[in-house]
């Protein structure tokens, strides 16, 4: 955590006040001691005069020797004072006042300083933000990419730990006011049977292990996302008791997996949504309750040095409703601006996913839906520039054209463009899919006002970012003195190097420009977690991950990506990625048939269940099998005994 200078100076001032008061009392004690010594000496003289009455001869004799005695008396003053200090009081009932010398004062001051250091050490530990580079490069990772086919499958070992300064593991979820793993089988455990575990893929610990290849890498977990909705977060933050339960659960999870911090991706405070539904205005008090939660998390994290960040909206209507920007900035270590998803297949005309500037003849709303406007709006409302991290998408938004017109604002039909072979999502394509399509002959265009590229093939249209447009955004970032760049998400960059012969072309260009780092590409070895105490997979399934959907049956949108940033006048924009289907074998025949998207029990085998996925109106059936001794509960959507 950052050094808390304000709290430290309060401690120093407290110590200083104590020493001033102590010195005042010490001076008073010294005065009383000297006064007592003077009275003792005067009393002794009087007693001596009673027994030795002076005569003229004795006075003459004393006068003669006065000069000699004066010099001796001066030499012996210190010793006389010292003797008087130890002289027994005439009155045995009088109190001996303590003599506190300089050594004792120094000892007390030194011990007080050590005590303050001890207190301060318990207030704020050394930050676990390991970054030693000029800029942050925050890499979000949609971990369901593990279930993508062929070259799209992404695991911890695919991460280049030298190109990112921070990695965000997406996602954890909120359950019963506690943070919980979204996909325990993927996130926890270990698939290596020789390790002592017989379940799971251990992906979180495999991510944490990347710190052995780059000790300056910060590994965090992100909580929330679009699919999580907003309602249950609103319920949690309004109650001090539930906030305390939540914070303790976060501390436990971070310690259990040796993570460096938490990224809070609540989409969004003061917006109402159950699950992945569209957002609409909700409980206004969320805005300040969110600040309270961040403050309490900040205070709870300090003794451990944990890092706290948040992903925030780039759309003005949501920003105004959701965030007290100066207070949010105060308690967060950095803020990830989701400056993408400004336009998509939910609209009736083409628009770029993340335009740097507004297009020609744009209306007032579209003028606000640009990267430049979003950055300036956050800055003008009190965010610390060094904490603001600019989001850059490594994917594009797609459309199906209605006719021959193909420029910005051209009419479109349907819910978006056709799905790709890797992300398999209507309305979006990863850059690893887009760059392949460009090589195959798509027509490339560049809008010189918005400073972005788009590509067209037949009736398909893609608005995306390439290295040139990314460079334009980095120029803005540096001109505004922002704290770095964030990407959503590393699993959709060309991480295998299919297109230009180099892995991570977009992420690498960001790292090179900001931190002058473009490698090396380490050979990451598979890490295995060895323990016999890890918990088994509680639902007993032997299937792959099935918590995330690729499409929705709702008529007005197609994907369920994790981030949604903007708030158009009639609906929210759709998050930028989808959580993909599993890689089990497609079931071509059988008595069960899909009639709608969702999860369903098998009518014949109680251990078996099905996921029906809508691919542009065509339903596909994917089979799963519960563990031995369990059956699928269609209401709970889990395997139970």
User: Which residue in 486, 460, 456, 223 sits closest to 371, CA to CA?
Assistant: 486
Phi, psi of 42 (to 5 degrees): -65, -40
Q: Which regions of 371-490 does DSSP assign to beta strands (E)? A: 388-393, 395-401, 412-413, 428-430, 443-447, 452-457, 460-463, 484-488
3-class secondary structure, 27: helix
Contact of 267 with 279, CB cutoff 8 Å: yes
Alpha-carbon gap, residue 170 to 187, rounded angstroms = 10
Bridge pairing between strands 452-457 and 443-447: antiparallel
Q: How far is 489 from 432, CA to CA, in rounded Å?
A: 11
Beta bridge partners of 181: 172
Which residue bears the tokens 């008791």?
A: 241
Q: Is 405 a catalytic residue?
A: no
Q: Judge contact between 8 and 120, C-beta under 8 A.
A: yes
Residue in 17, 191, 256, 267 annotated catalytic: 267
- Contact residues for 86 (Cβ-Cβ < 8 A; gap 6+): none
342 within 8 A of 370, measured Cβ to Cβ: yes
502 φ/ψ angles, rounded to the nearest 5 degrees: -135, 140
User: From CA 568, how far away is CA 572, in angstroms rounded?
Assistant: 6
* Cα 503 from chain centre: 26
The answer to whether 96 and 89 are in contact (CB under 8 A) is yes
What the block records as the tokens of 367 is: 């003028």
Closest CA to 255 of 314, 179, 325, 197: 179
Residues noted as catalytic: 267
């Amino acid at each position: 955590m950052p050094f808390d200078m304000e709290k430290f100076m309060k401690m120093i001032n407290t110590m200083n006040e104590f020493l001033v008061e102590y010195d005042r009392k010490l001076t008073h004690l010294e005065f009383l001691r000297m006064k007592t010594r003077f009275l003792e000496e005067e009393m002794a003289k009087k007693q001596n005069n009673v027994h030795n009455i002076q005569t003229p001869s004795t006075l003459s004799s004393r006068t003669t020797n006065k000069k000699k005695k004066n010099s001796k008396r001066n030499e012996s003053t210190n010793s006389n004072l010292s003797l008087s200090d130890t002289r027994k009081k005439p009155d045995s009932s009088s109190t001996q006042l303590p003599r506190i010398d300089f050594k004792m004062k120094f000892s007390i001051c030194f011990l007080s300083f050590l005590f303050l250091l001890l207190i301060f050490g318990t207030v704020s530990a050394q930050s676990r933000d390991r970054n030693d580079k000029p800029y942050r490069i925050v890499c979000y990772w949609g971990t369901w990419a593990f279930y993508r086919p062929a070259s799209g499958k992404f695991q911890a070992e695919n991460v280049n730990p030298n190109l990112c300064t921070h990695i965000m593991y997406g996602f954890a979820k909120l359950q019963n006011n506690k943070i919980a793993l979204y996909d325990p089988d993927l996130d926890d455990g270990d698939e290596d049977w020789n390790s002592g575990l017989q379940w799971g893929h251990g992906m979180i610990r495999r991510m944490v292990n990347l710190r052995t290849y780059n000790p300056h890498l910060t590994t965090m977990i992100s909580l929330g996302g679009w699919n999580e909705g907003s309602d249950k977060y609103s319920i949690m933050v309004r109650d001090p008791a539930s906030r305390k339960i939540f914070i303790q659960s976060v501390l436990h999870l971070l310690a259990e997996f040796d993570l460096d911090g938490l990224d809070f991706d609540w989409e969004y405070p003061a917006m109402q949504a159950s699950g992945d539904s569209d957002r609409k205005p909700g409980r206004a008090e969320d805005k300040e309750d969110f600040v309270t939660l961040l403050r309490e998390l900040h205070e709870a994290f300090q003794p451990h040095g944990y890092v706290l960040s948040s992903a925030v909206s780039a759309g003005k209507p949501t920003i105004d409703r959701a965030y007290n920007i100066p207070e949010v900035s105060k308690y967060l270590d950095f803020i990830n601006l989701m400056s993408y998803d400004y336009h998509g297949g939910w609209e009736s005309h083409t628009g770029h996913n993340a335009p740097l500037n507004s297009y020609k003849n744009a209306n007032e709303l579209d003028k606000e839906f640009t990267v430049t406007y979003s950055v300036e709006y956050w800055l003008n409302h009190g965010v610390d520039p060094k904490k603001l991290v600019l989001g850059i998408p490594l994917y594009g938004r797609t459309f199906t054209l209605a006719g021959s017109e193909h420029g910005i604002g051209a009419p479109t039909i349907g819910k978006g463009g056709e799905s790709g072979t890797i992300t398999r999502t209507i309305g979006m394509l990863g850059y690893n899919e887009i760059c392949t399509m460009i090589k195959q002959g798509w027509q490339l265009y560049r809008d010189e006002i918005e400073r972005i590229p788009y590509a067209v093939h037949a009736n398909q249209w893609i608005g995306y970012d390439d290295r040139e447009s990314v460079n334009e955004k980095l120029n803005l970032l540096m001109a505004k003195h922002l704290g770095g760049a964030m990407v959503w998400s590393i699993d959709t960059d060309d991480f295998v190097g299919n297109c230009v012969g180099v892995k991570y072309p977009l992420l690498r260009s960001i790292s090179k420009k900001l931190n002058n780092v473009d490698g090396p590409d380490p050979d990451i070895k598979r890490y295995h977690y060895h323990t016999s105490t890890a918990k088994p997979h509680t639902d007993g399934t032997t299937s792959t991950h099935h918590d995330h959907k690729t499409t929705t049956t709702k008529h007005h949108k197609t994907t369920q990506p994790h981030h949604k940033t903007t708030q158009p006048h009639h609906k929210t924009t759709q998050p930028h990625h989808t959580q993909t289907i599993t890689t089990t074998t497609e079931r071509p025949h059988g008595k069960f048939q899909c009639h709608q998207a969702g999860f369903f029990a098998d009518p014949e085998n109680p251990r078996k269940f099905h996921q029906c996925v809508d691919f542009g109106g065509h339903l596909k059936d994917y089979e799963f099998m519960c563990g031995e001794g369990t059956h699928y509960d269609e209401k709970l959507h889990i395997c139970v005994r």
